[in-house]
Each structure stands twice: as C-alpha cells, then as structure tokens.
Amino acid sequence: MNKVLVLHGPNLNLLGTRQPEIYGRETLADIDAALREQARKAGWELVSRQSNHEGELIDAIHAARLDGTAGIVINPAAYTHTSVAILDALNAFDGKVIEVHLSNVHRREAFRHHSYVSLRADGVIAGLGSRGYGLALEAVMADA
Ligand code: CA2
C-alpha cells in the first residue's frame, strides 16, 4: 500500500487551544483524523507525527526514506525558518515533499518570510488553514 508521512513541528500540539485567530480552532487530532480518512478513501496509508524536537523530525524523515514512503507533507513550524538540518534530511529523501503553513507566513513578520524547507519542497501551501494539509495530501497522492 502506498504510504504518506505527515510531519508537524514544534508547538503544533497546541493547535485549537490558543491563538485561534491565527491558527484556527481545529486540534491537531482533528486535522490528522481528517487526513487519515482522506488517505484511506484513496487506498493510502497515512502516518502522522508531531514533535517539538528537531532530531525526532529528522529521524522520522530518515525512516520514511528507508520504508518506501512515497511523500511527506510537512509543517516544520518555527524550524521552517531555522533548520538547515531538516532541509538536509529532506534532501536525502527521494519522494514528493509538500510544505504546509496554516497561516500566510508572507503576511507576518519578516523572519517568517524565509524557509529553508522551501529549497527542497516540490510545493508550498500557506494561509489556507487546515485545508492546506488536505490539498497537500491530494498533491502527494496524485503524483504517485
Ligand atoms: O503557519 C504555520 O503553520 C506556521 O508553520 C506555524 C508556526 C510558525 O512558527 C510558522 O512561522 C508558521 C508556529 C506553530 C505554533 O502553533 C501554535 C498553535 C497554537 C497555539 C500556539 C502555537
């Protein structure tokens, strides 16, 4: 069965509990459940992970490289703007990579305008809230 990995970076475990005006009211569990159902309907297996630790996100990318995962949907959260290490890990992954941001990072502070991950991403979706994850998943599954 085709497999897709969804990775959520630091603080995204707080979704739905604070700053709903920026990040929406859905929890991460809500988002993951909807994505799992979308994948299941298409005959795909979806694995999702959230971590507040850079190394754990990198380990998950390495594991995906070795287990035949076809694509990664990733919201690296604040690591988007800082992590060459996550970029390097994604550069070692051969499948599709779609970067997602709930908020429109380009309408926010200047430090959010640069993304290391975008140097590897095949596509980037920002500002569409949780809908962005569904669109990213659709893009991964369409190309496999
Ligand atoms: O818009 C996005 O999805 C971001 O990746 C979210 C990151 C931010 O650092 C990026 O610039 C853009 C922050 C995630 C923090 O999530 C929270 C959710 C609820 C309450 C507090 C933080």
pLDDT confidence of residue 40: 98
Q: Is the pLDDT of residue 130 over 90?
A: yes
- For the chain, what is the mean pLDDT? 97
pLDDT confidence of 118, banded at 50, 70, 90?
very high
Joined together, the tokens standing for residue 42 give 């298409």
- Distance between CA atoms of residues 17 and 47, nearest Å: 23
Ligand 1 atom showing the smallest separation from residue 78 Cα: 9
Report the pLDDT value the prediction gives residue 18, as an integer from 0 to 100: 87
Q: Is the CB of 8 under 6 A from ligand 1?
A: no
**C-alpha 1 – ligand 1 centre gap (Å):** 32
The pLDDT, as a whole number, for residue 38 is 98
Atom of ligand 1 nearest to the CA of 9: 14
| pLDDT at residue 48 is higher than 80 | yes
**pLDDT band for position 94 (50/70/90)?**
very high
Confidence of residue 1 (pLDDT cuts 50, 70, 90): confident
Residue 50's DSSP bridge partners are 8
Cα 42–chain centre separation: 19
